[in-house]
Structure 1
Amino acid sequence: MRRRRRQFSPEFKEEAIRMVLEGDRTVASVAREFDINASTLGSWWTGIGSRALRTGSSRSPGRTRRGFGSWSTA
């Protein structure tokens, strides 16, 4: 039997992204807590999190997350 594809509300996605932006946590740890794949959370970041940075968040992916796509510790 095939597993049904899960759908997530915009509020759920925003909460997960907020936890990465505002906390001192990795994408992987937030993804585990929400029981989603880290690449799924990364896709949400592309759509939601990057807008948050443009609208005033002081954190950037390059400074905050290690080992996730183009994010680095530099």
Structure 2
Amino acid sequence: SLRRHYAMTLRHWVRALENHQAEAVAMAGEETYRLWRLYMAGSAYYFEQGTTNIYQILAAPAYQRLTLPLRRDHLYA
């Protein structure tokens, strides 16, 4: 699961949105700004709590040989 990684990503996105609040509100309006801020912050919370998960799936045609490893353990070693 990419749950922990995605929680961190969402926290970064929320900070970036908050840092550019004036521009975001000017472009999309206060209601849309607040909706996305709440959605991303709430999603990050539930990913951190472990009540929500996210998975990445790589699909390829059956005739293609994939040379990618089956797991991503090497990325986190």
- Compute the TM-score of the two structures, normalised by the length of structure 1: 0.29
Instruction: Choose between structure 1 and 2 for higher RCO, CA contacts under 8 A separated by at least 6 residues.
Output: 2
Instruction: Name which one, 1 or 2, has greater alpha-carbon Rg.
Output: 2
Q: Where is the helix percentage greater, Structure 1 or Structure 2?
A: 2
